[in-house]
Amino acid sequence: MVGDDKVLSTKKYYVVTFALFSNGESSSPSNTPAPYNGPYFPAVSYEDNIRAQYAVLQKLGIKKVFAVVGFSMGGQQAYYWPVVYPDYVDRYVPICGSARTSPHNKCFLEGPKAALTASKDFLDGHYKSEPQHGIRAFGRAYSAWAYGQTWFREHGYLHGGKYPDLESFLREEWEGGFLGSWDANDLLTLLNTWSTGDVSLVKNGGNLEQCLSEINAKGLIMPSKTDLYFPPEDNMNELKSLQNSARLVVIDTVWGHMAGGGANEADDAFIANEITKFFEE
């Protein structure tokens, strides 16, 4: 979404992108020296991330943020900005995210988490080499939820002819997608951040309705119609408390959660068009 000729045009906007704590790029279990390395890395919340990002923006001399845009965990972060810094953000765009991680979402996260931590090579996080059994199990547990049943009905596991059978799809797309790319302790720390997401814990003591009603920034909330992590119903409930400060635009797609992550050109174009209109209001 970022580039000279894209919706977040670097010719028009000053664009700052951040890596989440524990994603392997920012400070993470995998790159932090002792005594906070690996399983000793502290739990990290979305609020921790937002406050650190704010400190960077202050260092850069940015006095006001025109818009915060994020997908998935970045979408959840987008809700935090107008809550933690209500006078600093003009508008926010959560794509395939929610203001609070739902019980349904938390139940899903326990699946890949258990598959990883129960593996024979995870060693309670004290592994010396990549815990392949655990990482592979994590990827398989994650697989079906990313796309959703509608996508599988229309595309099957062949992925447009890319894979000859289901086993190839699971091994190459999902096991291969995590092996060598993700550290096990990083994944677990991220899952904790995701699972504990709840903007109302910042200052409203868990009262989500009150928290959302106090948001003054303009919001464009874009769930995917077929998302199994963050279904549109979560955002529809949020809208009841947002006091007409936000509008909901559902991405009509079969691509599930991946619709917001650049998985196909049609959804990319739809999202870009809606954000462009929102920015021009």
Known catalytic residues are: 72, 227, 257
218-221 and 246-248 beta bridge pairing:
parallel
The answer to whether 244 and 219 are in contact (CB under 8 A) is: no
Torsion of CA 138, 140, 146, 147, to 10 degrees: 180
Residue 80 corresponds to which tokens in the numbers above? 């935090």
Residue 178 φ/ψ, nearest 5 degrees: -105, -30
> Sign of dihedral through CA atoms 46, 216, 260, 151?
positive
CA distance 83 to 215: 6
Q: φ and ψ at 91, to 5 degrees?
A: -155, 160
- How far apart CA 135 and CA 122 sit, in angstroms, is 9
Q: Residue holding tokens 């920034």?
A: 217
Q: What is the rounded distance in angstroms from the CA atom of residue 96 to the CA atom of residue 229?
A: 8
Q: CA-CA distance, 159 to 169, in Å (whole number)?
A: 8
Q: What is the C-alpha to C-alpha distance for residues 212 and 209, in angstroms, rounded to an integer?
A: 5
Residue-wise burial string across 148-168, b where 16 or more C-beta atoms lie within 10 A, e elsewhere? beebeeeeebeeeeebeeeee
Q: Are the C-beta atoms of residues 75 and 94 closer than 8 Å to each other?
A: yes
